[in-house]
């Protein structure tokens, strides 16, 4: 009860329903409502909730930390909930059973690495679909669904009163938040406008893609494969190129500037102001190393790859001294002229930053390899080198036809949904809690296998200070990552 002229009763309501439904009830009554901002669960909350179940089901412990935290696929399953409590609940039901009777067995199998995580992802996805009816909604409202996923993937801030269907003025972003399965988060605007971003768990994104067929669902299998090495990272880059372009086409776009496709480009590089045609893209893996071998054939069926058509994103043959991923984009209104986009992944966790000389060296290598090997009219192609790196990069001088995308720029390039996956994929090599023997040999001076085993026994590491205290001979490393231990509590039990 509150002290006032009239008696008042305070009743809190907890609901995943959007506030609009409550507002409508309020307007029909004399009840006053005050809304409390309840954001989605952050990483720390998700980890601690999972720890609660780990303790409940007597999960294994090593060096005062739960063993489940060394499983990156489990961490990815948790992050794919997007912090939506209902999605996290469905994940736990799939893992532990509705009555919790499978909990102990789940953690035992996880510690033995006896779990196919992609199967769990699909089960959670299907369970959420049954609960929210996402596929049916997307199938019956394809144009609206396409706009929703476009705004979400591209991170475009919108007004909640924006109408998504000209034939149905009542169908606004706000009404969909109430009735369907989108989550809105406000963004600050310098002009005072009240705009929001659309958030969806990755499970929802995949359900949309199942119906809209923007790309094949390869990414899901890719990231739940524990062998996520550089070839798989290249596959991720290739599929993002295809997804980004195909989504724009489904939104009705036929042309875009390179700057719209690659928003991190140097403002002074006029190449990126040129418009290119948009063609539906598919991803294919080459048997051979381009450009030293041409024509190329596809790995899965041996058919010739028409890489010059502009319809394919090509993953180059293993160890090719050229781009890891490449594709052709044709210029608008300029016949015969084409951009050849060359994507490369360059990681070096020993250096503090990506040196400009290394960038220039990679670009020169690409130019030399291409113009030496390709017999076609070389003047038809304008080569653009795009380098992805986990290192910080600061451009000191203008170089045309070169784009470096460092980890700090991932969100701008990949968008809010895919940047989370991209960052998580590469932080394994920046996280000493997941290093293998070969990696440790590179970062610890004069260390042999016996000492490396000792370093691994000191897991987990919670911070830079903790890491260097435990390993005084370690090289200084820039921007190391310690997730999930940096948001975890140290347990009272040493081993279990």
- Contact (Cβ atoms closer than 8 angstroms) between residue 180 and residue 172: no
Is pLDDT larger for residue 354 or for residue 342?
A: 342
Instruction: Centre a 10 Å sphere on the Cβ of residue 93 and count the other Cβ atoms it contains.
Output: 16
Residue 434 contacts residue 456 (beta carbons within 8 Å): no
397 or 406: whose pLDDT is higher? 406
Nearest Cα residue to 77 out of 90, 89, 91, 63 = 91
Contacts 24+ apart (CB under 8 A), 456-465: 457/63, 458/63, 459/62, 459/63, 459/65, 459/70, 459/433, 460/63, 460/65, 460/69, 460/70, 460/433, 460/485, 460/488, 461/432, 461/433, 461/485, 462/486, 462/488, 462/490
Identify the residue with better confidence: 488 or 389: 488
The mean per-residue pLDDT over the stretch 296-313 comes to: 95
In our burial notation (b when 16+ CB lie closer than 10 A, e otherwise), range 382-420 reads bbbbbbbbbbebeeeeebebbbbbbbebbbebbbbbbbb
- The phi and psi torsions of 158 (rounded to 5 degrees) equal -135, 160
pLDDT digits (tens, 9 = 90+) for 425-483: 666 667 888 877 766 666 666 556 666 777 788 999 999 999 899 988 777 776 788 99
More confident residue, 436 or 85: 85
pLDDT value at position 180? 67
Is the pLDDT confidence value at 47 over 70? Answer: yes
The string over 126-137, giving b where at least 16 C-beta atoms fall within 10 Å of a residue's C-beta and e elsewhere, is bbbbeebebbeb
- In this model, does residue 90 exceed pLDDT 50? yes
SS (H, E, C) 226-248: CCCCHHHHHHHHHHHHHHHHHHH
> Does the N-terminal peptide bond of residue 472 adopt cis geometry, omega within 30 degrees of 0?
no
pLDDT, greater one: 133 or 223 = 133
pLDDT at 483: 92
DSSP state of 97: -
Tens of pLDDT, residue by residue over 231-283, are: 567 888 898 999 999 999 999 999 999 999 999 999 999 999 999 999 999 99
As given in the structure block, the two tokens for residue 9 are: 């009763």
Residues 6+ apart with CB under 8 A from 491: 61, 64, 65, 66
Tell me the mean pLDDT in the region 71-77. Answer: 90
Instruction: Please determine, for residue 2, whether its predicted confidence score (pLDDT) is greater than 80.
Output: no
245: tokens are 């372009």
The pLDDT value recorded for residue 92 is: 98
Residue 362 has pLDDT above 90, yes or no: no
- How many other C-beta atoms lie within 10 A of the C-beta of residue 9? 7
Q: How far is CA 121 from CA 57, 76, 233, 481, in A?
A: 21, 10, 20, 25
For 125-162, write each residue's pLDDT tens digit.
999 999 989 999 999 999 999 999 999 999 898 888 88
- How much is the average pLDDT of 162-166? 87
Q: What is the mean pLDDT of the segment spanning 325-338?
A: 92
Half-sphere exposure of 423 (CA within 13 A, CB side): 20
Structure tokens at 486: 């940096």
Q: Which region among 54-58, 116-120, 131-135, 221-225 has the lowest average model confidence (pLDDT)?
A: 221-225
Q: Is 443 left (phi over 0), alpha (psi -120 to 50) or beta?
A: alpha
Reported as a pLDDT band with limits 50, 70 and 90, residue 229 is: very low
* Portion of the chain with pLDDT greater than 90, in percent: 49
Q: How far apart are CA 399 and CA 163, in angstroms?
A: 43
Query: Strand locations in 170-309, DSSP E?
Result: 183-187, 195-199, 255-257, 275-277, 282-285, 296-297, 304-305
Please provide the average confidence, as pLDDT, over all residues in the chain.
84
Which is it for the CA torsion 214, 160, 421, 351, positive or negative? positive
347 or 270: which carries more pLDDT confidence? 270
Q: What is the DSSP letter of 392?
A: -
pTM: 0.84
Q: What was the pLDDT predicted at 51?
A: 98
Q: What pLDDT score was predicted for residue 193?
A: 73
> Of 42-56, 216-230, 372-386, 407-421, which has the strongest mean pLDDT?
42-56
Mean pLDDT of 368-376: 80
Give the whole-angstrom CA distance, residue 449 versus residue 451: 6
Rounded Cα distance, 296 and 368, in Å: 19
pLDDT at 293 over 70: yes
Confidence grade of residue 348 (pLDDT, cut at 50, 70, 90): low
Cα→Cα distances 189→194, 197, 263, Å: 7, 12, 20
pLDDT of residue 241: 94
> Residue written as tokens 């600061």?
394
CA dist., res. 214 & res. 65, Å (int): 41
């Amino acid at each position: 009860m509150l002290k006032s002229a009239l008696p008042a009763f305070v009743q809190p309501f907890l609901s995943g329903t959007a506030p609009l439904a409550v507002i409508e009830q309020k307007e029909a009554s004399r009840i006053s409502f005050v809304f409390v901002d309840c954001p989605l669960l952050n990483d720390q909350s998700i980890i601690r909730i999972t720890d609660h179940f780990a303790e409940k089901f007597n999960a294994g412990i090593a060096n005062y930390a739960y063993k489940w935290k060394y499983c990156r696929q489990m961490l990815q399953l948790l992050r794919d909930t997007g912090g939506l409590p209902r999605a996290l609940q469905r994940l736990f039901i799939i893992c532990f059973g509705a009555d919790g009777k499978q909990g102990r067995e789940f953690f035992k199998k996880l510690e033995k690495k006896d779990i196919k995580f992609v199967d769990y992802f699909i089960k959670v996805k299907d369970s959420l679909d049954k609960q929210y009816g996402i596929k049916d909604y997307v199938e019956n409202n394809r144009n609206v669904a396409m706009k929703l996923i476009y705004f979400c993937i591209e991170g475009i801030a919108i007004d909640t009163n924006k109408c998504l269907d000209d034939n149905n003025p009542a169908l606004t972003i706000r009404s969909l938040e109430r009735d369907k399965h989108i989550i809105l988060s406000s963004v600050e605007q310098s002009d005072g406008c009240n705009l929001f971003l659309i958030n969806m768990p990755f499970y929802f994104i995949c359900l949309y893609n199942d119906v809209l067929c923007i790309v094949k669902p390869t990414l899901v299998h890719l990231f739940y494969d524990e062998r996520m090495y550089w070839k798989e990272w290249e596959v991720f880059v290739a599929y993002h190129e295809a997804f980004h372009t195909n989504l724009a086409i489904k939104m009705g776009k036929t042309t875009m500037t390179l700057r719209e496709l690659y928003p991190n480009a140097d403002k002074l590089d006029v190449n990126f102001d040129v418009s290119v045609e948009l063609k539906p893209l598919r991803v294919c893996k080459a048997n051979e190393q381009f450009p030293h071998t041409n024509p190329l054939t596809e790995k899965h069926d041996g058919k010739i790859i028409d890489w010059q058509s502009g319809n394919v994103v090509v993953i180059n043959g293993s160890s090719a001294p050229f781009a890891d991923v490449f594709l052709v984009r044709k210029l608008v209104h300029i016949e015969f002229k084409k951009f050849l986009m060359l994507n490369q992944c360059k990681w070096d966790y020993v250096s503090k930053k990506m040196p400009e000389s290394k960038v220039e060296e990679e670009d020169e290598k690409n130019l030399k390899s291409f113009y030496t090997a390709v017999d076609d009219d070389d003047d038809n192609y304008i080569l653009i080198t795009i380098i992805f790196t986990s290192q910080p990069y600061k451009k000191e001088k203008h170089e045309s036809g070169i784009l470096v995308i460092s980890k700090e720029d991932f969100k701008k390039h990949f968008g809010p949904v895919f940047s989370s996956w991209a960052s998580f994929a590469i932080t394994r090599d920046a996280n000493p809690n997941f290093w293998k023997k070969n990696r440790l040999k590179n970062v610890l001076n004069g260390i042999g296998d016996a000492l490396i085993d000792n370093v691994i026994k000191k897991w987990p590491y919670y911070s830079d200070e903790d890491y260097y205290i435990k390993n005084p001979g370690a090289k200084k490393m820039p921007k190391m990552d310690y997730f999930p231990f940096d948001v975890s509590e140290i347990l009272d039990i040493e081993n279990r």
